[in-house]
Amino acid sequence: MADLGSALFTAFIVSFISFTAIALYMDHKYKGDTSMSGCLYSFFASFFIPLIIFVTVFLYNFSL
């Protein structure tokens, strides 16, 4: 079982990288789109996908 600090650190780094990649992609895809659907899709994709990745990586590393 890994210690809590290293599991949190690894999960944070991986989720931050995924957040950055998704945010850059959404910025490129929805450039100039001010509709509510484009803004909401960008927000939820940029927030929830890294959150799911964070929880998954944290649980995997903490269970080792």
Residues 6+ apart with CB under 8 A from 19: 46, 50
Q: Residue 1 pLDDT > 60, yes or no? A: no
Could you report the per-residue pLDDT of 9-56, keeping only the tens digit for each? 889 999 999 988 888 888 788 777 777 777 777 778 888 888 999 999
Residues 6+ apart with CB under 8 A from 33: 39
Residue-level pLDDT at 13: 92
Q: Residue 2 pLDDT > 70, yes or no? A: no
Q: Which residue has the tokens 């927000």?
A: 43
Residue-level pLDDT at 56: 92
pTM above 0.85, yes or no: no
Residue-level pLDDT at 26: 81
